[in-house]
A and B are shown apart, each in its own frame.
Chain A
Amino acid sequence: MDFSIASILLLDGLTNGAVYALLGLATVLVFTVTRVIFIPQGEFVAYGALTLAIMQTGKVPGTVWLLLILACVAALMDAFAQWRRHHRLVAGLQAALRTLALPVVVAALAAFAAPRNPPLLLQALLSTAVVTAFGPLVYRVAYQSLADASSLVLLIVSVGVHFAMTGLGLLFFGAEGFRNPAFWDLRLALGPITLSGQTIIIALASVALIVMLWLFFERSLYGKALRATAVNRLGARLMGIPSQTAGQLTFAMAAFIGALSGLLIGPTTTVFYDSGFLIGLKGFVAAVMAGLSSYPGALLGALFVGVVESFGSFWASAFKEVIVFTLILPVLLIRSLYSGHSDEEH
């Protein structure tokens, strides 16, 4: 290996690492606010990339129908919950409509625009909107009524959601893989390395998103409310922050980050319905390195994972997954040596 190969690998690793970083951040975000270890984060990545891919072909993506079905289920659950509480039909209907409104608008827009071949940027925007709308609904349907369950029960629920979302991905996208067109087909030769437009977009998008997250949590009222919920759910509820809203907002952000990551990696690799899982898990490894609690830690961890993966695939390409996932063990060992004993769950 010489310097030029090393620098190519490094750039490659950092680019992938930037995407893992986004997913790692989403994982940390969801865990701190809701205590959910969100395994299906990667599914949003695949959904995002594939929704755009289907739009490219001029068809209405299956995610649109899935979104409508999920919204109906959530609306029924909301209506039923309201009806049980107040025994009034109108209250139930109102609740159902509130839940339905946004997803229906998004789905209608996507269904309207898709066959008309809008410009790539608009397609990307619509894809992101469709997948983002999944977030709160997934929280509503799968997690909301279990919000007080132990984090281990929530983890098993996550696995169930992962199963269901992967299977539905197969159902709505088919087994075929897609590779999206590049958003910016620039090629910049810098010595031995070639900087592609997509790499620059990935880097810029990651930095922008990290800055936005930082601003959101430090400066905005909603961000502070989420942080308060993360520290103490009951306390936040007593301060007038409904934990349901916090959960749904968090999941919307996670879905948004997932969809964005999907758009970012779509042009660099072929995405299948189940590709998201491995990508998401790598973000996950990064989040675990950061103890599921530190955003800068997750960022560094993700870049590290990306670089290890890219060098691993150079030296022992068959074993790159083995290397990446075994990496978590020494990291956990170090954490266990330094973080001391386990904390009591009560």
Chain B
Amino acid sequence: MQLSRNRILIALVVLVPLIALAPVPDFWINQFNTIGLYSLVCLGLVLLTGVGGLISFGQAAFVGIGAYTTAWFTLNMGMSPWLTVWIGLAFTAVCALILASITLRMSGHYLPLATIAWGLALYYLMGNLDALGKYDGLLGLHSLTIGSHDLGTGRGFFVLAWFLVLAFATALLNLLDSRSGRAIRALKGGVQMAEAMGVNTFRYKVVIFVLAALFASVSGWLFAHFQRTVNPSAFGLKMGIEYLFMAVVGGIGQVWGALVGATVTKLLDDQLQVLLPKWIGTSGSYEVIVFGIALVLMLKHLPEGLWDFVQSRLPAGRRTVDWSEAPNLPARNKPANGDILLDVRAIRKEFGGLVAVNDISFQIRAGQIVGLIGPNGAGKSTSFNLVTGLLGLTRGAVHFRGQDISGLSSRAIARRGMARTFQHVKLIPDMTVLENVALGAHARGRKGVVSAMLRLDRAEEQTLFKEAQRQLERIGMGDQLHELAGNLAMGPQRMMEIARALCGDPALLLLDEPAAGLRHLEKQGLIQVLRQLQAEGMSILLVEHDMDMVMQVCDRLVVMEFGTRLMEGTPSEVQESPAVRAAYLGEEH
């Protein structure tokens, strides 16, 4: 399947540009030249918005940077367009990096707002700078040529533009099916899970923002030499919004949706610009009414876009297992049984005046299963989040394998060999179980975005998938590798999270209420898996409500109440403690 998919893609990249040789009327060639330009921008938006969940209304501004850069440098410095494209990309990258570093650390809606402001500012800047010809723009650009072949108009341009569109689409598909791609696909569901898998989410957000901007910049470069003139009107905020509209119409999460959206929008736009003024009786850009209403209707009734109709009718490809011969990933050396693995020293968390965790201390020795229990609101999950670095400590210290890890980010802690699951399962529903689990091995891979796009990462991918399959088999899910994670029931979802955590090769596994929502048999299965993991030398910290299970699997228990440690001991000691009974049953003590 993989191989045949690659063949289809390569065939597309080679064959579609050759349509230019066929007797297609010039009108349609020109229509599709423009559609190709739009598609390039939309491909970037699919990555940024559809996959990564970041919205930009400012893509038109990046198109403008690409167009104006090549226009200015070819006209004023007499440079070749084949050189200026790189200058344009460099400019775009710098601008995108600045914008990204300012806005991407904040919550989701600041980026779109900043891109609106930025799109407007750049539009007025282009329209008022003398060097850029003010609102008239720059005229008299040269066409793109290779040797004596004119690639700047008609059929020649079609070949170049559609070669680039399909090459970029292929690169994007390759990227999404890679280590980096899985990390990018994790961004939309919130950053907690991805960070806990060792993913630097901020870096990936910056990367996809810059990539989307670069796609737009290439489109601008092509546009400038296609139109032979640039002026601000094509790069305003309205166009920026239209690009987003195209992506939403086609299917914002789908690579091919970008092409569909660009095509439909362009053809519709042409019709409306002729028909509406005719109906209404005066000229004007009335098509925005239709676009606006269509956008709202799409989001309400067809949020997956038009391509989804096609996608849902295509046979779902199943990944071929080609990694059985791949080498194993190197494993970290594990602590010897009985060593102190985790040393929690008087950790404290205050929210304003509320002390949620009040100087809790406990230790975990290698090979132990320790349970953290207590009534609702006792501060168990908060303690858990303090240990894993999701929350910052007010006071106290956490030592892991002899090193002080207090104050480290959850990502840094994950990379030191502490893996966790979540109380509310966090998975990527449209990825398979195998891919979800492979995300857990993120920190054990190296290959980056560029090698993924060029598909130079296959050897490493095989090792990651081999590890993911091994971990899934370890917990008894070896027969569900290729199911979509979103289709799993609650029990298997929780087990999958454990496999994902194991994929990080942890020395300590932290499970946050793994039995919540599980049926009796699933619970028995979970107990067996935990025992088996312990037998294989794994150490586990468990936050759990299910007393039955806790008593069965834990070596030691830490009991919390109202943020303080009530007692610590073996399960039988805890069961006999009158203080614990009082805490649970509400007696006076």
Partner-B contacts on A (CB < 8 A): 37, 39, 142, 145-146, 149-153, 155-157, 159-168, 170-171, 174-175, 278, 281, 284-285, 288, 292, 318-319, 321-322, 325-326, 328-329, 332-333, 335-336, 339, 341-346
Complex Cα spacing A176 to B104, Å:
41
**A336 to B105, Cβ gap below 8 A?**
yes
**A328 to B106, Cβ gap below 8 A?**
no
**B117 to A325, Cβ gap below 8 A?**
yes
**A342 to B112, Cβ gap below 8 A?**
no
Nearest CB on B from A231, distance (A):
16
**A345 to B128, Cβ gap below 8 A?**
no
- Extra contacts, 19 of them, besides A37-B112, A322-B121, A322-B125 (Cβ < 8 A), are A150-B108, A152-B108, A155-B112, A160-B293, A160-B295, A160-B299, A161-B296, A163-B288, A164-B293, A167-B288, A175-B284, A281-B120, A319-B128, A321-B120, A321-B121, A336-B102, A342-B105, A345-B107, A346-B424
**A164 to B191, Cβ gap below 8 A?**
no
Interface residue from A149, A152, A278, A284 paired with B55 (Cβ < 8 Å): A152
**B53 to A156, Cβ gap below 8 A?**
no
Answer yes or no: B280 CB below 8 A from chain A CBs.
yes
- Name the B residues within 8 Å of A156 (CB-CB): 55, 244, 248, 295, 299
**B106 to A342, Cβ gap below 8 A?**
yes
**A37 to B117, Cβ gap below 8 A?**
no
The B contact surface, by secondary structure, is helix
Answer yes or no: B73 CB below 8 A from chain A CBs.
no
What mask results when residues 414 to 425 of chain B are scored 1 for a CB within 8 Å of chain A, else 0? 000000000010
- Name the B residues within 8 Å of A346 (CB-CB): 189-190, 192, 424
- Name the A residues within 8 Å of B128 (CB-CB): 318-319, 322
Complex Cα spacing A285 to B103, Å:
14
- Nearest chain B residue, comparing its CB with the CB of A164: B292
Answer yes or no: B540 CB below 8 A from chain A CBs.
no
**B112 to A333, Cβ gap below 8 A?**
no
- Name the A residues within 8 Å of B192 (CB-CB): 344, 346
What mask results when residues 269 to 292 of chain B are scored 1 for a CB within 8 Å of chain A, else 0? 000000000001010111111111
Complex Cα spacing A82 to B116, Å:
38
**A288 to B189, Cβ gap below 8 A?**
no
Q: Which of B112, B113, B287 has the most CB of A within 10 A?
A: B113
Answer yes or no: B300 CB below 8 A from chain A CBs.
yes
Partner-A contacts on B (CB < 8 A): 53, 55, 57, 99, 102-110, 112-114, 116-118, 120-121, 124-125, 128, 189-192, 241, 244-245, 248, 280, 282, 284-296, 299-300, 303, 424
Inter-chain residue pair count (beta carbon < 8 A): 147
- Name the A residues within 8 Å of B241 (CB-CB): 159, 163
Complex Cα spacing A209 to B488, Å:
54
- Nearest chain B residue, comparing its CB with the CB of A166: B288
Given contacts A319-B125, A332-B102, contact A171 B57 (CB under 8 A): no
Given contacts A142-B296, A164-B296, A342-B107, contact A159 B57 (CB under 8 A): yes
Complex Cα spacing A96 to B201, Å:
48
**A339 to B118, Cβ gap below 8 A?**
no
Task: Sample 14 A-B pairs with CB under 8 A, ordered by A number.
Answer: A151-B109, A155-B109, A164-B292, A167-B286, A281-B116, A284-B113, A321-B120, A325-B120, A329-B118, A336-B105, A341-B105, A342-B108, A344-B192, A346-B424
- Name the B residues within 8 Å of A166 (CB-CB): 288, 292
Complex Cα spacing A170 to B295, Å:
19
- Name the A residues within 8 Å of B289 (CB-CB): 163-164, 167-168, 171
Q: Which of A39, A332, A335, A343 has the most CB of B within 10 A?
A: A332
**B190 to A285, Cβ gap below 8 A?**
no
Interface residue from B106, B108, B245, B424 paired with A339 (Cβ < 8 Å): B106
- Nearest chain A residue, comparing its CB with the CB of B248: A156
**B106 to A335, Cβ gap below 8 A?**
yes
Nearest CB on B from A158, distance (A):
9
Nearest CB on A from B228, distance (A):
26
- Name the A residues within 8 Å of B293 (CB-CB): 160, 164
Q: Which of B110, B191, B290 has the most CB of A within 10 A?
A: B110
Among all A-B residue pairs, the 9 with the closest Cβ atoms: A164-B292, A163-B292, A160-B295, A167-B289, A325-B121, A318-B128, A167-B288, A328-B117, A321-B124
Complex Cα spacing A343 to B192, Å:
10
- Nearest chain A residue, comparing its CB with the CB of B114: A332
Complex Cα spacing A321 to B286, Å:
26
Nearest CB on A from B380, distance (A):
19
Interface residue from B109, B113, B124 paired with A328 (Cβ < 8 Å): B113
Interface residue from A157, A329, A333, A343 paired with B295 (Cβ < 8 Å): A157
- Name the A residues within 8 Å of B282 (CB-CB): 174-175
